[in-house]
Structure 1
């Protein structure tokens, strides 16, 4: 279930160490939902997640449905008709790409992602299908991008991942206070799916998989060293039976902290 990728030394912040195209990189993870978005937040008001400033603003002429700003935080996502803006100016290092997990409930092309440099669009993309869970990724390339935007009409926005190049490898990568969990991959999946896990301190880690009714499907606990690990679910229940296709939630817990990730099993 768990694969140890080694131990590193580091200090606190919101990064996961990765290797991208043969070079060291770090990933900042933002997870907008009812537990991270302040209660009563209004459009154009700023809040902070993972050390970055975010805000909801009205859509504009670049979006599928201009002139709207409506959002509702829900478990594991935010339901949105509008724009979610992430200020990237405080991101340390060179940004390589930004990915966002979305569930559009409107037509193809209604959910869009952009990265900007000084107000100029550097890259953009949109959903090709609907409705289904998918990832939109925009590339920053050599540009010094300073803003990421995801816009949607009847869209659930899940996790946002900002991949940053690091100059000096592992020792320069900052880590979470104790626990950080990456996005499942592949997702959707048919045989197995994995998530990257980073631990600042050694400890017991529990992986629990629930179905949409909240029924426990699979659970395992293991003692892990500080460092990077991979958690894999093989799509089976505690009894070893193949779980039916559908939506599942993977909770990774250290006891003090829990991170939840949504996966889709296809049979």
Structure 2
């Protein structure tokens, strides 16, 4: 398992890519629009969430169980928001619950169609679940904290993308020994055989493990950039809902791509997720703003 090295590679690649938006023509960092203490706190939480999710695999938590438990992100984020004084309508709460159930149904269906187990392979299930629960709670709090930071200082998502990764890098130093071992394992994998039409890549004689590590980092950059951009435009709960919908699309796409048929259970889960997502979107983007606008007009007429 090279999850720690994968995480480090993603952080380095994203920090480098995001640095271009934070460097001045004189090759110095721009003055941040948000206090550095805020970015440092967010980076610490971001690192913690990633480490907790990686740590859970050490307790033999299967990937399906990992995915299923992380599907509660919308619920935990809504609870974190409520604890900080945010209010949600009954329709928003209901749609989040339905969506979560839909993702759970889809995850079980996806695991079943591919012959995967949704059980832990040892007696460490309890410890692994507690770690994932801690990651969920911390992630939910971080999402709400970032939302409040944007509300106060402006939606500087590019700064967040850079500093959340860059400031986390020193925290990997205590894990250097493990990282070296994981890198050595990947470096010892067979050389990837690039086609003759790519002579430059072929001449590199790159181990397949390293090539896949770089490819993973590039795709993660696209993913995390989209998440940060979305978080600057929408609430923390909306972000988790979009991520859950994306997760469902991934389930369906992987099922089709690997030659499996969509089961009735998967279709039910898909219907619940898309229906709940549409319901939440209608409530949040149309009904609530319309009601607020009508109330404002009514109050204006009274005056």
Give the TM interval when normalised to the shorter protein.
under 0.3
Looking at CA atoms only, which structure, 1 or 2, has the larger radius of gyration? 2
Q: TM-score, normalised by structure 1?
A: 0.23
Q: Report 1 or 2 for greater relative contact order, CA contacts < 8 Å, sequence distance ≥ 6.
A: 2
